[in-house]
Amino acid sequence: MVDLRGKPAYYVRPPTAVLTSGFDPNLSLGSARPAVFRSSTYVFTTPEAAERAFDVALGRARPAQGESVGLIYSRLSHPNAEILEDHIVPLEPDSQAAAVFNSGMAAISTLFFTFCPPGGSFVYTTPLYGGTQHLIHQMLEPFGMRAIAVPAGDAAGIRRAIEGARDLRLVFLETPANPTLVMTDIADAARAAHAHPDHPLVAVDNTFLGPAFQHPLRHGADLVVYSATKYLAGFSDMLGGVVLAKDRELVTRLCGTRAILGNILQPDECWLLDGRLPTVGLRMNRQSKNAQRVAEAIVGHPRVERVYYPTLFEDAEQIRIRDEQCSFPGGVFSIDLRGGKRAAFDFLRRLRIAKNAVSLGGVESLACHPATTTHSELSPEALARSGVGEQLVRVSVGIEDWRDVLADVRQALDAV
């Protein structure tokens, strides 16, 4: 059923493919799970093989069909990165290739440095993950890249920004937005981008709903990026990042930048993340069901002004995007508490199950106050524009029994 290159001989669905493709036990003394190859350098069979490996690695030659080119040095690539990359591709429908990085920010910055040269411009949705926001303002703009911000969910605004941009290289979307879960129409942005004479690439930060519930490549995106630190790894115990692309050539270019920056994911981390991939769908399903039960149950609580969650959207356009773009609502919700920052802090102090920490996507529930932590560097105007108030708390729901999480959230609300 599995050929030597680890590809299933016929189509199987993602949860099957992740367990049957991409790793050949024959290359690891028959071990059912991959070994960890921690070597920094690889021995060539002949000087000619070394020459050939460098020709291919440096883009002077292309590997022939079926040719396996020797590994060189683990900053360029190593067996555990290749195993992980092969395993992750079937989880992202329509992707051809993946590149792994030592954090989500390493993946995002490598993507910008590869596809948006100085003098080029890019369009992005706001609010963005704080690290990405820093990258744009503290590195990309000073390096001479032009950044054009558009509010998430504003389809007409995004279209106008794309149509009006010159030397446009990239459209970068983060959907749903953090922490308000406002959704941006990927297909609409991709249509506008692909009609632009500069042929910009469309990249989506899919950390919140992928790879289980949202498949941006299916909606016309060219690249998908992940903080693997979150749902993919799922246990709040490692950092990682991934970029996947419809076109293998884009990943080859990313790997060229990765070799220069030296930000490939290390062998031990690759091995760890690889072992988490078969359960990401199970974990995310449970987290989404738990979050939905809790979010919907606290609507109307006297201390709750508003709950932000995809199944509770009221805006017709947001409901349309949700239904076209996402198969399940995901494991994160936010709450506006009555009583401002004090109520928000009281609520966090009183939670017993959910821990007060940033990050999300782990098997344990976490809660945080974005205005003073993850989003604290936004100006008051930007916070207001993004709908991130002092009264807002974000909750990432884990895989605990949902009745316990709900009881905990209720007792914390009751005590506010």
Ligand X SMILES: *Cc1c(COP(=O)(O)O)cnc(C)c1O
Cβ at position 385, least distance to ligand X in Å: 18
Catalytic residue among 52, 230, 258, 306: 230
Quick one: which of 395, 279, 243 has its CA closest to 14? 279
Give Cα separations from 225 to 51, 381, 387 (angstroms).
33, 28, 24
Q: Is 227 near ligand X (CB under 6 A)? A: yes
Tell me which stretch binds ligand X (CB under 6 A): 101-109, 185-193, 309-317, 383-391. Answer: 101-109
Give Cα separations from 333 to 58, 289, 291, 309, 352 (angstroms).
45, 12, 7, 5, 18
Instruction: Look up 205 and say whether it is catalytic.
Output: yes
Give Cα separations from 241 to 215, 244, 265, 292 (angstroms).
17, 10, 8, 27
Give Cα separations from 48 to 70, 153, 334 (angstroms).
11, 54, 59
Instruction: Look up 230 and say whether it is catalytic.
Output: yes
Choose, by CB under 6 A, the member of 121, 229, 334, 391 that binds ligand X: 229
Q: Is 216 near ligand X (CB under 6 A)? A: no
Catalytic residue among 75, 338, 341, 355: 75
Q: Is 205 near ligand X (CB under 6 A)? A: yes
Whose Cβ is closer to ligand X: residue 80's or residue 103's? 103
Q: Is 109 near ligand X (CB under 6 A)? A: no
Choose, by CB under 6 A, the member of 90, 220, 241, 389 that binds ligand X: 241
Cβ at position 177, least distance to ligand X in Å: 9
Q: Is 129 near ligand X (CB under 6 A)? A: yes
Q: Is 207 near ligand X (CB under 6 A)? A: yes
Instruction: Look up 129 and say whether it is catalytic.
Output: yes
Tell me which stretch binds ligand X (CB under 6 A): 12-20, 52-60, 100-108, 332-340. Answer: 100-108
Tell me which stretch binds ligand X (CB under 6 A): 109-117, 126-134, 183-191, 278-286. Answer: 126-134
Cβ at position 374, least distance to ligand X in Å: 9
Strand order in the sheet with 304-308: 304-308, 332-337, 392-396, 366-368, 355-356
Choose, by CB under 6 A, the member of 103, 125, 175, 292 that binds ligand X: 103
Whose Cβ is closer to ligand X: residue 185's or residue 205's? 205
Cβ at position 398, least distance to ligand X in Å: 16
Judge contact between 120 and 168, C-beta under 8 A: yes
Q: Is 133 near ligand X (CB under 6 A)? A: no
Q: Is 213 near ligand X (CB under 6 A)? A: no
Choose, by CB under 6 A, the member of 70, 131, 151, 278 that binds ligand X: 131
Q: How many residues bind ligand X (CB under 6 A)?
A: 15
Instruction: Look up 185 and say whether it is catalytic.
Output: no
Q: Is 331 near ligand X (CB under 6 A)? A: no
Q: Is 105 near ligand X (CB under 6 A)? A: yes
How many CA within 13 A on the CB side of residue 229? 15
Whose Cβ is closer to ligand X: residue 132's or residue 365's? 132
Catalytic residue among 86, 185, 188, 205: 205
Q: Among residue numbers 162 through 181, which ones bind ligand X (CB under 6 A)?
A: 174, 178
Judge contact between 268 and 215, C-beta under 8 A: no
> Rounded CA gap, 369 and 165, in Å?
35
Cβ at position 275, least distance to ligand X in Å: 18
Judge contact between 370 and 181, C-beta under 8 A: no
Question: Strand 241-245 and strand 223-227: pairing?
Answer: antiparallel
Cβ at position 229, least distance to ligand X in Å: 4
Whose Cβ is closer to ligand X: residue 132's or residue 236's? 132
Cβ at position 230, least distance to ligand X in Å: 6
Q: Which residues pair with 335 in a beta bridge?
A: 307, 393
Cβ at position 44, least distance to ligand X in Å: 34
Residues of this chain that interact with ligand X (CB under 6 A) are: 103-105, 129, 131-132, 174, 178, 205, 207, 227, 229-230, 239, 241
Active site residues: 75, 129, 205, 230
